[in-house]
Amino acid sequence: MLPTMVYLNALVVAGVLAIGTHAQQAPTVAGRLGPFLDQQTFAILRVDVRTFDPQPWLDYLTELIPGSEREVSDFGRAMQSFRAQLRNHGVNELYAVFSLGDYPSLHPYYVIPGLPADSVEDVRKLLAVRPQVWQVWSHDGTTVIAPLTVIGRIRRFQPPPRAELWEAFGAVPGCPLQIVVSLPPYARKVIDELMPEFPQEFGGGASKTLARGFRWAAFGFYAAPQRRIRLVIQVADEEAATVISRQWKQAVAAYLSRAEVARRVPNPAQAAELLTPKVNGSQLLLDLREQDGSLRALVTAVSVPIEAAIERARRAESANNLKQLALAMHNYHAHHKTFPPVGSQDAQGRPLLSWRVHLLPYLGYSELYRQFRLDEPWDSPHNRKLIPKMPEVFRCPASRLPTSSGMATYRVVSGDETVFPPGKPISLRDILDGTTTTILLVEVDDAHAVPWTKPEGLPFDPQHPARGLGGQFKGGFHVAFCDGSVRFLVETIDPRVLRALFTRDGREIVRLDRDLSPRSR
């Protein structure tokens, strides 16, 4: 499981959750949480673990954001598992408290009412915090899990009367997930002095109205009878609300005017209107619903940065896969004194199993390796049954091919001049062009994927060295070099440079800072 902070931050940023029927009254929140805040508290996330269910919102994301199915599904499973474990330990309610006193980390600390004493240590482990730094303090039936400095701070000082926070909780009742925000007075002054004008990309204009007039904001997320997001912002007066609403609309319009967003949003002007809160006295109200299209407008607008984040994550994962494979190649070399050949052969020279199969023990899959009949070809009746068991490390996370298909998107390039000539294993001493400028592994498109057990390299084409490469990510593809490093090469790379990178002893001189720099592409 990834660190719990990833999931809690994702809830705050994405705001994509759930359904509830048990309203939480403000006095109850104040009584349970009030003694554990400080003057610098600026945000609180509350989760009713009993009724929390992210699935309706996760389904909506996969519907409106093409290609996000795997990430959303993985996130959903992790959240459901996290919730189930909290419930098993007797957690009914969880608060994540953010304080400016913890700057620059701004990691929340956790307040859990009614946590059974015998579950405290298990919940601390579940929250993935360091026991050397994070401590537990129980007081009047409530448990605080926080760094020792935080516990000392909230125990040492009398908690301030944060009435605006309790008022904010009351503005969005009936949710299993609520987020409230209220800036401490000194933070408003800092904003006013350090950022007197909003950046132009956010609409421009003076920030003083927001800094001086803002009191609190509350978010609530509903899924029954239909999905709905409610935002309430309390400001000083109606004049401030009118100014903030106008600046908000300008910021939304500026965002929607970006080329990459405008291509996705069919009617930016209408979307800006739907995504701007209405003025109601000294409050700003924004109700995003399925019925009027405002919720779809929001998700469509934010799909652009979400897709960009997914692509960044997939690129990082793909690069990590190649690093693991390159390390396994080197561990194989340390044991056998050569890199593995494209595939093993029997005594008659007939192909048997690919290099990927023979890397399994060096990737932590010794048990799977033992299931193969090494003296039989990859498509024998027995070995064919193992194709759906392909480890994820052989598949690019951006591939549309499911792992169960057994189709690998990381390949070696095979040719007389490459690191993988047909029928001849190569050692490091054979790479005369240098390990830092000779390609070991490549990331290919789905059309050039192969069954992971098949002993077949991607044929080296000196005239068209990029054939089969790319297609997983915009603008280029990943390669692993013989020194174990991984780079993202742009699709416009000079074919002569790419050809030189594939040859092991062509005596070409490739300077990475020059030939692979953005200017040369």
- Structure letter (DSSP) for residue 267: -
What would the pLDDT profile of 379-397 be if each residue is shown by its tens digit?
A: 999 999 999 999 999 999 9
Last residue within a domain, chosen from 182, 204, 229 = 182
Identify which has the larger pLDDT, 3 or 375: 375
- Whether pTM exceeds 0.75: no
Residues sharing a CB contact under 8 Å with residue 396, sequence separation 6 or more, in sequence order: 314, 318, 321, 409, 410, 443, 472
Last residue within a domain, chosen from 182, 209, 225 = 182
As for how many domains the chain has, the answer is 2
Residue 296, domain member (yes or no): no
Residues sharing a CB contact under 8 Å with residue 252, sequence separation 6 or more, in sequence order: 203, 271, 272, 275, 276
Q: Comparing C-alpha atoms, which of 60, 87, 84 is closest to residue 72?
A: 60
Residue 392, domain member (yes or no): yes
Amino acid 73: pLDDT = 83
Assign 133 to helix, strand or coil: coil
Q: What's phi and psi for 92, nearest 5 deg?
A: -100, -25
Whether residue 10 has pLDDT greater than 60: no
Strand-strand pairing, 458-459 and 413-414: parallel
Residue 230, domain member (yes or no): no
Amino acid 64: pLDDT = 77
Amino acid 98: pLDDT = 93
Q: Comparing C-alpha atoms, which of 158, 162, 156, 184 is closest to residue 95?
A: 162
413: its two tokens: 């390039």
Please count the residues of the chain.
521
Work out the pLDDT band at 196, boundaries 50, 70, 90: low
Q: At what angle do helices 55-64 and 294-336 cross, to 10 degrees?
A: 90
Residue 222, domain member (yes or no): no
Q: Are 357 and 372 in contact (CB under 8 A)?
A: yes
Ramachandran sector of residue 18 (left: φ over 0; alpha: ψ -120 to 50; beta: rest): beta
What would the pLDDT profile of 71-125 be if each residue is shown by its tens digit?
A: 888 888 888 899 999 999 999 999 999 998 887 777 899 999 999 999 998 998 8
Strand partners, 256: none
Whether residue 154 has pLDDT greater than 70: yes
What would the pLDDT profile of 217-238 be if each residue is shown by its tens digit?
A: 999 988 777 788 999 999 989 9
Residue 96, domain member (yes or no): yes
Q: What's phi and psi for 21, nearest 5 deg?
A: -130, 0
Residue 480, domain member (yes or no): yes
* Class of residue 84 by CB neighbours under 10 A (exposed 0-12, middle 13-18, buried 19+): exposed
Residue 75 belongs to domain spanning: 1-182
Residues 411-439: what's their mean pLDDT?
A: 91
Strand-strand pairing, 109-113 and 228-235: unpaired
Residue 208, domain member (yes or no): no
Tokens 């690093």 locate to: 323
Last residue within a domain, chosen from 182, 208, 235 = 182
Residue 224, domain member (yes or no): no
Mean pLDDT for the chain overall? 85
Amino acid 516: pLDDT = 62
Work out the pLDDT band at 207, boundaries 50, 70, 90: low
